């Protein structure tokens, strides 16, 4: 089964803002004409447009931390993979830590059986 290409909301902005005390909000901005046209083109049979907001891999040129996309999932379909792709540097660091934690000694003379 071929993976469906994500359709991003055109001319949109999504930025996480954290305030003193740790509270945070997600600020969304949309170009009105583009957003209305997008909504009208993607309305479902019940009159809704479902959107998803996910964290970007890199902060955008204008400070965007998240992206907004069309959620096309319907009941009865397989659940989408919600796992984030792993950061290669984090994977390598985890493997290095695991290797150093594993006992590499091959001498089994202290084994009681």
- Distance from C-alpha of 80 to C-alpha of 104, rounded to nearest angstrom: 40
Is residue 103 predicted with pLDDT exceeding 70?
no
Write the pLDDT tens digit of every residue in 56-94: 999 999 999 999 999 998 888 776 565 556 666 666 766
Q: pTM value?
A: 0.62
Closest listed residue to residue 26, CA positions, set 7, 10, 12: 12
Write the pLDDT tens digit of every residue in 1-31: 567 789 999 999 999 999 999 999 999 999 9
- Distance from C-alpha of 93 to C-alpha of 106, rounded to nearest angstrom: 24
Beta strand segments in the chain, E: 12-18, 24-30, 51-55, 66-70
- Distance from C-alpha of 20 to C-alpha of 11, rounded to nearest angstrom: 29
């Amino acid at each position: 089964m071929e993976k469906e290409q994500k359709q991003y909301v055109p001319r949109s902005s999504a930025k996480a803002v954290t305030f003193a005390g740790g509270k945070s909000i997600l600020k969304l901005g949309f170009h009105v004409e583009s957003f209305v046209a997008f909504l009208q083109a993607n309305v479902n049979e019940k009159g809704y447009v479902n959107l998803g907001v996910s964290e970007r891999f890199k902060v955008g040129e204008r400070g965007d931390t998240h992206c907004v996309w069309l959620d096309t999932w319907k009941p009865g379909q397989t659940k989408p993979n919600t796992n984030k792709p792993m950061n290669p540097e984090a994977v390598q660091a985890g493997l290095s830590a695991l290797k150093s934690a594993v006992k590499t000694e091959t001498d089994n003379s202290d084994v009681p059986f």
